[in-house]
Amino acid sequence: MSKNYRILDLIRRNRTPLENHLIDGLVDGRVSRRDFVRHGSLLGLSLPLLGRIGMAAGFGSMPSLARAQGAPGATIRVGSSVPAAAIDPVTIADAGGLLVMQQVAEFLCIDGPDLVLKPALAESWSPNTDGSVWTFKLRKGVKFHSGGEMKAEDVVASIDRLADPANSSNALSVFTGILSKGASKKVDDYTVEFHLDAPNGNFPYMLSSDNYNAVIIPASYKGDYEKSFDGTGPFKIEKYTPKVGASFVRNDDYWGEKALPERTEFTFFTDIQPQILALQGGQIDIINQMPVLAGVALLNDPNVDILSLKSSAHQQLHLRCDDGPMKDARVRRAIALSIDRDKLVAGLMKGRAAPGNDSPFAAVYPSTDASVPQRKQDIAQAKQLMEAAGVGKGFKMTLTTERYLEIPEYAQLIQNWVKEIGIELDLNILDQSAYYGDAVFGKSNWLDSVMGITDYGHRGVPNVYLAAPLKSEGTWNAAHFKNKDYDQLATSYIAALDLEAQKATAGKIQKLLLEETPVIFGYFYDYLTATAKGVAGVQPTAMSQLFLEKASKA
């Protein structure tokens, strides 16, 4: 299709230089349509505007995301894991709890399955020129279930509460070094500014569903969330029984389109197998999160639909860089070269994963430099590297890891593969509490082991993966990797507002990490949700959230 420069020029007149640079990238072919939509949404461009720009740039109309509306009035029954602790927006950190909270409370914006940010309680957002101040415009007429209208002071209080170190907030892992207490400021009743500690090109993701603690609740909240479950969401709490389940009813005062289901019911399960049996037996309609190995029976079940989301979730295999034979980067590269990623994806993950290239840059990220060559199994080269490093005869060490998802099987495959290059690996597979310990150096099998495998959940942007496990002072740096060049590149990537600048830095980081290999990223696994045949309109996210307002049953 031809480009309509007249319309493009009209659109460009009211846009910032940063937005126009992105538009130029699309027009010149430097930025793909998919990356343009993702990054445009991050900069606060609305989806209709992104669609108009795409059409003017000759890409045709955007594919419609609208689905045929199902029948209203259903009761949707969900199986999920048991909330591990009291549900509180400040402290919640587990999939079962955040799923319940997300049914009633909402975010400023939603990170969709395509990693495109969509407005929710915020209608729009924009950065200043260097990305150090972000301004969010709030939606008007949004009511809490308790009756009051959501305004700027509620947003400021909700986010400030999470950024306050005194609250032991779980969101501090996201906000530390980025947003401090008192840096969220009310401009007027419907405008909030966030003054960041340092420029950050991906900040809206940190106020989106990607940061599952960042729900907006009344400024008057004093704790004990399970008593009120107050929020602005399309469903209101009906009943919550700890360790057993929860039910919700449609919120008829919802600001947006009213939810299709009349009710939703959540049943908590301690294990995945009873959930599978409950789905097959018709006791539940949805399994929110289904691990591929445990749920392999459902993958080909004709009575079950599998919703598969590409994600950045992965298992990090860390290699200690400060001690023993793995101090030599050649040994770390040799270990990485012994791993057969194609078999991991096709065999272990049944095709529900994408191969990793030993950096956090998963294929789902628009900033990932796809031109960096994919690392593949090469035993001959691995043996050469071992010889060159003076450990050609091999050595013995222990791989310590957690009993979670497919990790024990992954560990056994690694054990067999590294045997081919002379490394004799003992396995020490622990339950999760023993593995993580106190999660601080010196008191954690995870952070102190010479080699370990750790599960990392999905993130809409790679910032957390780039900082905590890889930066010299990273709090989760189990590899004990200290590299000044890397630190500078990571800081530069996180600050970059422009997609092309992010891509250029990402490429450098990818190459540096391939050379150094402090962590092996073998694969990025898909987030799977199983639904009974006839259930439609279910929208999961790879962060364990489940949006049910458009769900229906045949």
Partner 1 sequence: MSATDTTTQERPIGRRGPYAELFFALMRSGTFLTGFAIVLFWVICALFGEHFTPYDPLADDIINALSPPSAEHWFGTDQIGRDVFSRVIVGSRDILTVAPLATLLATVAGTALGLFTGYFRGIADDIVSRVLEAFMAIPVVIVALLAIVALGTSKATVIVVIGLSFAPIIARTVRSAVLAERELDYVAAAQLRHESAFHTMFVEILPNVIPPILVETTVRLGYAIFAVATLSFMGFGIQPPSPDWGLSISNNYGMIGGGFWWTVLFDALAIASLVIGVNLVTDGIQGALND
Q: Which residues of 497-520 are buried (b: 16+ CB within 10 A; e: fewer)?
A: bbbbbbbebbbbbbebbbebbbbb
What lies within 8 Å, CB to CB, of 460 at 6+ separation is: 111, 115, 117, 202, 205, 208, 210, 312
Q: Does 450 bind partner 1 (CB under 8 A)?
A: no
Question: Per-residue x/- marks for partner 1, 45-74, CB under 8 A?
Answer: ------------------------------
**Distance from chain centroid for Cα 423:** 34
Q: Which member of 189, 271, 322, 438 binds partner 1 (CB under 8 A)?
A: 271
Q: Which member of 51, 177, 408, 457 binds partner 1 (CB under 8 A)?
A: 408
Rounded Cα–Cα distance for residues 239 and 242 (Å): 10
Beta-strand runs (E) in 60-145: 75-81, 109-111, 117-119, 122-127, 133-138
Smallest separation, CB 191 to partner 1 (Å): 51
The number of beta carbons lying within 10 Å of the beta carbon of residue 170 is: 19
For residue 355, the SS3 value is strand
**Distance from chain centroid for Cα 34:** 18
Q: Does 377 bind partner 1 (CB under 8 A)?
A: no
Smallest separation, CB 427 to partner 1 (Å): 5
* Site stretch for partner 1 (CB under 8 A), options 244-252, 379-387, 422-430, 498-506: 422-430
Q: Does 277 bind partner 1 (CB under 8 A)?
A: yes
Q: Residue 283 corresponds to which tokens in the numbers above?
A: 């006791």
* Site stretch for partner 1 (CB under 8 A), options 292-300, 310-318, 465-473, 502-510: 292-300
**Residue 452, Cβ density class (10 Å: 0-12 exposed, 13-18 middle, ≥19 buried):** buried
**Half-sphere exposure for 248 (CA within 13 Å, toward CB):** 32
- Please, are residues 112 and 181 in contact by the beta-carbon 8 Å criterion? no
In the complex with partner 1, the residue whose CB is nearer, 133 or 294, is: 294
Q: Which member of 224, 238, 257, 409 binds partner 1 (CB under 8 A)?
A: 409
* Site stretch for partner 1 (CB under 8 A), options 54-62, 247-255, 270-278, 459-467: 270-278
Smallest separation, CB 423 to partner 1 (Å): 15
Q: Which member of 10, 297, 363, 370 binds partner 1 (CB under 8 A)?
A: 297
For residue 49, the SS3 value is helix
Q: Does 403 bind partner 1 (CB under 8 A)?
A: yes
Radius of gyration of the chain (CA): 24
Q: Residue 216 corresponds to which tokens in the numbers above?
A: 């907006």
Smallest separation, CB 341 to partner 1 (Å): 12
In the complex with partner 1, the residue whose CB is nearer, 16 or 412, is: 412
Q: Which member of 171, 348, 464, 528 binds partner 1 (CB under 8 A)?
A: 348
* Site stretch for partner 1 (CB under 8 A), options 91-99, 158-166, 271-279, 538-546: 271-279
Q: Which residues bind partner 1 (CB under 8 A)?
A: 271-273, 276-277, 280, 293-298, 343-344, 346-348, 403, 408-409, 411-413, 415-416, 426-431, 434
